Amino acid sequence: MKYELPKLNYAYDALEPFIDAQTMEIHHSKHHQAYTDNFNKALEAHSDLVEMPVEELLSKVNELSVDEKEKNALRNHGGGYYNHKLFWEIMDPANKKDESLIKDVKKEFGSVDSFKEQFSEAAKTLFGSGWAWLARDATGKLQVYGLPNQDSPFQKGHIPIICLDVWEHAYYLKYQNRRPEYIENWWNTLKLI
Ligand code: MN
C-alpha cells in the first residue's frame, strides 16, 4: 500500500463550532480512508504509476493510456485522496496567516473580502458534489473556480492552494441543506488568509 490516511494535526473537535466533531471524524476516518484505500486498489494494476508523485499523476490522469474505468478510478480516488489531504492541512485552529499569499490575493482580487466573495460564490453555485478552489495557473495568476466530483486543478495544469469540500458529506450532519451557512462559517477554520 503506497498511500496511508494522513493524520490530522488537530483533534476532531478542534474546528467546533464551525465544523462539528462527528462530521470531522466520519469525513476523515471513513470517507478519506475509503478514497485512500480505493486509490491504492486502483494503483495495484499500474506499478509504473505507483512511483509517480500524486500531483503528477493527477495532472496527467486524463491522458493516461489505461482504460476508461481505470482512469475514472485513478481520477476520482486519487483526487479524493489528495483533495482531502490538502483540506485538512489548510484548516487549523492555530490559524497562522500566510502574508505573502494575502498580498497576492489583494493584488489579484482587489481585497481579501472580494476574494472571499468570489470563492464563496463558486462554492455556493457548484451544482451537485465537488470543491471550490483557489489555484495558481501556469503563469502564476490566482484563479477561483468550482470543479465537480474529486477533480483537481492539477488536471488543468494549475497548482491548488485553497480548497473547500462542498460534498454533502462535508456538512450535512450539522447544516443539512444550508450549504451557504456552512461556507460562511468555514472561513473561521481557514489558516493562510
Ligand atoms: Mn469530502
Mean pLDDT of the chain: 96
Report how far ligand 1's centroid is from the alpha carbon of 49 (Å).
24
Report how far ligand 1's centroid is from the alpha carbon of 69 (Å).
21
Which residues contact residue 130 at a Cβ distance below 8 angstroms, ignoring those fewer than 6 apart? Answer: 146, 147, 148, 149, 151, 166, 167
Report how far ligand 1's centroid is from the alpha carbon of 93 (Å).
19
The pLDDT confidence band at residue 120, using thresholds 50, 70 and 90, is: very high
Q: What is the pLDDT of residue 48?
A: 87
Q: Are strands 142-148 and 159-165 parallel, antiparallel or unpaired?
A: unpaired
> Per residue in 41-87, pLDDT tens?
999 989 889 999 999 999 999 999 999 999 999 999 999 999 999 99
The pLDDT confidence band at residue 95, using thresholds 50, 70 and 90, is: confident
Report how far ligand 1's centroid is from the alpha carbon of 68 (Å).
23
Type and span of the H or E element at 101: helix 99-109
Q: What is the pLDDT of residue 94?
A: 82
Q: Please state the pTM of the whole predicted model.
A: 0.97
- Read off the pLDDT of each residue in 113-136 and give the average, rounded to a whole number: 98
Report how far ligand 1's centroid is from the alpha carbon of 107 (Å).
30
d(C-alpha 167, C-alpha 173), whole Å: 12
Q: What is the pLDDT of residue 110?
A: 98
Ion ligand 1 neighbours (CB, 5 A) are 165, 167, 170
Q: Does the structure show a pLDDT above 80 at 35?
A: yes
Cβ–Cβ < 8 Å for 49, 43: yes
Report how far ligand 1's centroid is from the alpha carbon of 84 (Å).
6
d(C-alpha 163, C-alpha 155), whole Å: 15
Residue listed under C-alpha cell 462530521: 23
d(C-alpha 137, C-alpha 160), whole Å: 9
Report how far ligand 1's centroid is from the alpha carbon of 143 (Å).
22
The pLDDT confidence band at residue 90, using thresholds 50, 70 and 90, is: very high
Report how far ligand 1's centroid is from the alpha carbon of 80 (Å).
7
Tell me the residue length of the chain: 193
- Phi and psi angles of residue 123, each rounded to the nearest 5 degrees, phi first: -70, -40
Report how far ligand 1's centroid is from the alpha carbon of 171 (Å).
9
Type and span of the H or E element at 135: strand 130-136
Q: What is the pLDDT of residue 30?
A: 98
Q: Does the structure show a pLDDT above 80 at 1?
A: no
d(C-alpha 6, C-alpha 33), whole Å: 9
d(C-alpha 192, C-alpha 16), whole Å: 19
Q: Does the structure show a pLDDT above 90 at 36?
A: yes
Q: What is the pLDDT of residue 37?
A: 98
